[in-house]
Each structure stands twice: as C-alpha cells, then as structure tokens.
Amino acid sequence: MTNYLDYQFEDSETFINTFDEAPLWSASFGLLLLKHLELKPNQFVVDIGSGAGFPLLELAGRMGSSCKLFGIDTWNNANQRAKQKIKDYNYSNIEIIECSAHKMPFENNSIDLIISNLGINNFDTPSDVFMECNRVLKPKGKLALTTNINGHWKEFYQVFYASLIQIGKSNLIEKLEHEEAHRGNIQSVSELFIQSGFRISKTIEDSFVMKFVDGTAFLNHHFVKLGWLSSWTNLFSKEDLQDIFTVLQNNLNIYSQENDGLNLTVPMLFIEGEKQ
C-alpha cells in the first residue's frame, strides 16, 4: 500500500525525455510570471534555473528576435533537452549555458532582465545568487521571480500533524514544522532582494488549488514522489516510516471522503526588484 516509499529518483536522458514540469506545477507559476512581466524589445534576458526550457522558450517566443535570452542551469540532461527544443522550434535568440547562477559568465552591468521560475528554493545559497544577479544587471535592471511560499499544501500538513499526534509521535511535529516553514514568505524573500541592493518594484500573491481524488493518489503521484516525498521521509527514522505513512495515507483518504477530495492550496509569489 505504501510502495511509493521505495521510490528512488534516477536522472537519465530517458527520464528527461518524458519529464515536463510545465503541464502541472511550473505552469501555474510560469503563467503568473508571464502575466506580470513587462516585456520590452531589445533586451538581454537571463532565466536562472531554466531546467528543460520552461518558461525560457515561451518567453523567447513572446519577446521575439530583437531580444537575446540566456538559460542558465547546472543540470546537464535538462540543458540538452532545452537545446533540442530550441532547435525544434527554430529559435535563434536563445543560448543555454551550463553553469551555476552563483557565477554567471556575463560582464558587470550587461543584462536588462533576470527571471527565475521556481529557482530560489533550489539554490544552495540564494543570497549569493541575488548578489550575482545584482552584479550582472544594468542599473535599473529587473530581477523577477516566482516562488512557492509558506502555506503550501496546508491541508496536507494539517492531516500530517494530526497523524503524528494520533500515533504518539508528537515529538516529530517540530521537524515537520521546520520542513513546512523553510519556504519563506513575502517578507523573507523581500529581504533577500533588499540586502542585495534591489528596490522592490512589484509583489503579487496568488494561489491555485491542486485536486486529488484522495491521499493514495496524492502520495503515488509521480511529481509528489519526485519533488517532495524525500523531504518528508528524511525527517523520520526508517523504522517509523511504515507506521507514519500508513496512518497519514489513511487519514488523508478519510479527509478526502469528507471534503470532496483532497484539494490542496498552493500559494504563489511573484516578486520583482529593480537594481538600485
């Protein structure tokens, strides 16, 4: 019943050929980004954490040939896929550069706009990346990003806390609270901007609901296994995992019966800063 606990992610060329975050998760954040970005001609643009090419290729198509876009990512297989898409779409205004956003191969004051869709939660030291963005942006250049913030899947976490209490493991609640809170909020993300020499020019908070039939579907969903499962299983000892997830899954299923399914809220933040 809990065989998703055996899931092991393996990166490969084959994996990346079928991997599209865009249809479900990244798409919602990417649409928020595309909605609130100001698009101008003759811009040098960088997408940090461009992954398999979303929303980089969409933005390149919308900005057109007077603009030059660069996709920066450390993930080789994703970069290969992005390059294949660029070739297939016959776009000549994009270049993929395999490097870390901590050290980008651009001159000081050379870029007009930097974007990142769901990048900052993945960077080891986001504050260093923000400083690097400040270095490469022109004065008044913009850094615009989307990120998921606290409140993420709060309905799931509430059932998770109740399940830990039910099996007498309330001592583990603190660990789960820490995991839930690490995403930050509008204040903590704004701080990163301000400390790196940006003036906040726009913030938009929005949310969407991800619906699942029940907890069993949720815990077995490929993207949940890929993106989140290990951040929960790593909190607990191996001996406790079966008990915790059996009760959690059961409680999520009861919750779903009582609430017309498992409808999970995903808060989103669009935030844009201007280099001072």
Ligand X SMILES: C[S@@+](CC[C@H](N)C(=O)[O-])C[C@H]1O[C@@H](n2cnc3c(N)ncnc32)[C@H](O)[C@@H]1O
Give the binding-site size for ligand X (rule: CB under 6 A): 21
User: Measured from the CB of residue 22, what is the shortest distance to ligand X in angstroms?
Assistant: 6
CA dist 48 and 112 (Å) reads 14
Among 28, 43, 117, 163, binds ligand X (CB under 6 A): 117
CB of 50 or CB of 256, closer to ligand X: 50
Minimum distance between the CB of residue 40 and ligand X, rounded to whole angstroms? 21
Residue from 4, 16, 19, 21 binding ligand X (CB under 6 A): 21
Q: Binding of ligand X at residue 118 (CB under 6 A)? A: yes
- Residue 185's nearest CA partner among 121, 275, 117 is 121
Binding mask 43-62 for ligand X (x = CB under 6 A): -----xxxx--x--------
Q: Is 26 in the site for ligand X (CB under 6 A)?
A: yes
Q: What is the dihedral of CA 119, 121, 123, 128, to 10 degrees?
A: 100
Interface positions, 66-95, toward ligand X (CB under 6 A): 72-75, 78
- Positions of E strands within 126-226: 137-148, 198-212
| Closest C-alpha among 75, 85, 72 to residue 111 | 72
- How many residues are listed for the chain in this entry? 276
Q: Which stretch binds ligand X (CB under 6 A): 4-12, 100-108, 148-156, 190-198?
A: 100-108
Counting contacts by CB under 6 A, is residue 106 touching ligand X? Answer: no
Please name the residue that has the structure tokens 């993930």: 75
208 binds ligand X (CB under 6 A): no
Per CB under 6 A, the segment of 114-122, 182-190, 253-261, 266-274 that binds ligand X is: 114-122
Q: Is 132 in the site for ligand X (CB under 6 A)?
A: no
User: For residues 32 and 176, which CB has a smaller minimum distance to ligand X in the complex?
Assistant: 32
Query: Which three-class secondary structure state does DSSP give residue 108?
Result: coil
Q: Of the candidates 28, 94, 119, 270, which one interacts with ligand X according to CB under 6 A?
A: 119
Q: In this complex, which beta carbon is closest to ligand X, that of residue 64 or of residue 227?
A: 227
Residue 251 in contact with residue 219, Cβ under 8 Å? Answer: no
Torsion of CA 94, 39, 205, 157, to 10 degrees: -10
| DSSP class of 112 | E
Strand partners, 70: 46, 95
**Dihedral over Cα of 206, 43, 74, 134: its sign:** negative
Read off the DSSP letter of residue 5. Answer: G
Q: Which residues of this chain interact with ligand X, rule CB under 6 A?
A: 21, 26, 30, 48-51, 54, 72-75, 78, 100-102, 117-119, 122-123
